[in-house]
Amino acid sequence: MTDDDLRALVGGLPDAEVLLRVPRGYAVKARPTAQGAQATGTDLESLDAWVIAQRGQVRTARVPSSMGSRPGHRAQPPPAAPQRFYVLPEDALTA
C-alpha cells in the first residue's frame, strides 16, 4: 500500500476523541483488529509503523464500562477490556 492509501485508511477509522485526552491538533482513531486490517489489504504492523512514522503513537487504554450500578447495589461493574488507539497529528491525515 502507498503512503496515501495508508493515510486514507487511518483517516477513515472511527474517531475516539472522547476516550483519551490528547493535545490540541491531535486525532485519536480506533485501531482496527488484525482481521479488520487484513480485510482492508494491509496488516497491523504496517499501520502501526505508518502512524509512528507520522509522529504518532499507539496507545492502550481502558474504556469506561457503559454499565452503571443499580440502586441499592455497591458492587462496581468490571472494567472493560483494554483497547488500542492511534494518536497522531491531524496534519498527518491530510496530504
* Residue 21 confidence class, pLDDT cut points 50, 70, 90: confident
Q: For residue range 37-63, what is the model confidence (pLDDT) as tens digits?
A: 888 888 899 999 999 999 999 998 876
Dig out the grid coordinates for 38 from the structure. Answer: 487484513
- Range with lowest mean pLDDT among 31-40, 64-73, 79-88: 64-73
pTM equals 0.77
DSSP sequence for the chain: --HHHHHHHHHTSPB-TTTS---TTEEEEEPPPHHHHHHTT--HHHHHHHHHHTT-EEEEEEPPPSPPPPTT--PPPPPPPEEEEEEEEGGGG--
The answer to which of 2-11, 29-38, 78-87 has the lowest mean pLDDT is 78-87
